[in-house]
Structure 1
Amino acid sequence: MAWVLLVVAGLLEVGWSVGMKYTDGFTRLWPSVCTVLGIAASMLLLARAARTIPVGTAYGVWVGIGAAGAAVLGMLLLGEPASGPRVFFVALLLVSVTGLKLTSGH
């Protein structure tokens, strides 16, 4: 169950990190509210997952999911460059997240 919580926390991190783009520097009310709620929910789920999963592994997986997801959504939704090297390094992040999961002992 801790891994499910951690994956959901990572997906929420993707949502709030991309959501920050829509807050316009936290000057737009509803995007700002949604972003702040996403941050709180993501952190809460990360904390719950870290009760069982080693904190270094949990944090690394959480950040990896968030960074990779934000980069992919940035390319797909926000017109950010999707060059070969960027895609390669996003894939490398996902390999690293998988490696942390496989070597966590849980």
Structure 2
Amino acid sequence: MLRLMTAPDIVQARIWCDLLCEAGLPAKVLREHFASVHGLMPPAECHPEIWLEYEEHEPAARTLLKDLERLPQRRWRCRCGETVEGGFEQCWSCGGFMQAGQPL
């Protein structure tokens, strides 16, 4: 196993781990419950860590996580009238999807 990175919190660690696993890069979150010992241990040792099961997956895993930092950001208006911002292609209000030519 190879320690890939630490995450700022358990939610982010789980998201990254799930995305790696969905991409066929088996990963695990370790230290996910260490937040409860903040103050008893150095803070840097309490953050959750993402570990890859196979070391040879490291380049692909780092590429995937780097690509996540560059997701396209959009601003578009749904047919229901809701303005949707960010990397979303689906309206949170009605569930409709962004259509070609819909950006604001």
Q: Same fold (TM over 0.5)?
A: no
User: TM-score, with normalisation over the residues of structure 2?
Assistant: 0.31
User: TM-score, with normalisation over the residues of structure 1?
Assistant: 0.31
Flag the structure with higher helix content.
Answer: 1
The structure with the larger Rg is 2
Flag the structure with higher strand content.
Answer: 2
